[in-house]
Amino acid sequence: MNNRTVNLLITWDNVFRALVISSILAPYIAIILAIIRAPWFNIWANALSDLGKMTHICSAPIFNSGLALGGYLLGLTTALSQGIRAVNRLILCVAGFTLILIGVLNESYGYVHFIVSVAFFLTIIAYLTSYGYIYVSMPAFIIAIVDVIIWMLHFAYRLPTGAAIPEILSSISFAPFFLHEAMKTGK
């Protein structure tokens, strides 16, 4: 590879795209690594945040730092993107901040952790609803409704008993819409 080829690969748009993708992947990579380090973890019976409880020294640092990094990258890429509408920018910055708080105010903090976790998942639903309204996207509206139903089933009927499945489904649900909106203009 010559210098001209390298210079073409390292552009602001390519760096920005890598940051956007990293903001989605960082928490999931940390979650997978934390699960690998936690043989006690049961995806049906536990919440993902159980991995971050400070008594679980094999998984907590990985899980908590991965969520904090993901939240930081989400906020950073949201702030840098020119493709994200103003209301969505606000919602996503709050989502990034609350994701950081989930890692910092981990499961060891009890009720405070529960509050920031609920706030994070509510911002995801708010983002999907806003995206659906702005872009007249039925898939975004439908996924927002599905997210609400998933959480209602969990809280009202303990289906599933642990929160990990609703957490994974809800957090993944916003990713395609965020990626689409954040990368529209490249920066």
pLDDT in tens, 123-182: 999 999 999 999 999 999 999 999 999 999 999 999 999 999 999 999 999 999 999 999
Domain boundaries, the chain: 15-182
pLDDT the model gives residue 11: 87
Q: Region 33-38: what's the mean pLDDT?
A: 98
Residue 48: its H or E element:
none
Cα 65–chain centre separation = 13
The mean per-residue pLDDT over the stretch 54-80 comes to 97
Q: What is the pLDDT of residues 79-121, one digit of tens each?
A: 999 999 999 999 999 999 999 999 999 999 999 999 999 999 9
First to last CA, the chain: 26
